[in-house]
Amino acid sequence: EAGVVQSPRYKIIEKKQPVAFWCNPISGHNTLYWYLQNLGQGPELLIRYENEEAVDDSQLPKDRFSAERLKGVDSTLKIQPAELGDSAVYLCASSLPRAGVGTGELFFGEGSRLTVL
């Protein structure tokens, strides 16, 4: 079974340019997450989708960041315009919440490493 697929793997842009990241979750996983990870830090949640609905976007900097998950499958995360401080790894994860006790393991992609010059 294919895991979470992200692209591009690496992206280098100049500041003020736009950038977009794409995520294809594991088939059938209706919950999708975008995390940001700075060097030496743990991942930080940006947004969480349940199907096509963003159920938690409280940590998404909405002035420059946007995300969408049309049809409740693939998702894109966009930054416009990018700033130097946006250099980080952007991780996508998906899960299949099941009613029960202690479920909802997250499966992560390998991430998209962004460098803003």
Partner 1 sequence: DAKTTQPTSMDCAEGRAANLPCNHSTISGNEYVYWYRQIHSQGPQYIIHGLKNNETNEMASLIITEDRKSSTLILPHATLRDTAVYYCIVRVALSRYGGSQGNLIFGKGTKLSVKP
Footprint of partner 1 (CB under 8 A)? 4, 33, 35, 40-45, 48, 55-56, 91, 93, 97-111
Nearer to partner 1, 17 or 30 (CB): 30
Judged by beta carbon, residue 27 or residue 58, the one nearer partner 1 is 58
Q: How far is the CB of 93 from partner 1 (least distance, A)?
A: 7
Question: What is the SS3 assignment for 26?
Answer: coil
**Which residue bears the tokens 């280098």?**
12
% helix, strand, coil for the chain, step of 5: 5, 45, 50
Question: Considering the complex, what minimum distance in angstroms separates the CB of residue 58 from partner 1?
Answer: 10
Q: Are 95 and 31 in contact (CB under 8 A)?
A: yes
44/68 with CB nearer partner 1: 44
How far from the centroid of its chain's Cα atoms is residue 55's Cα?
Answer: 14
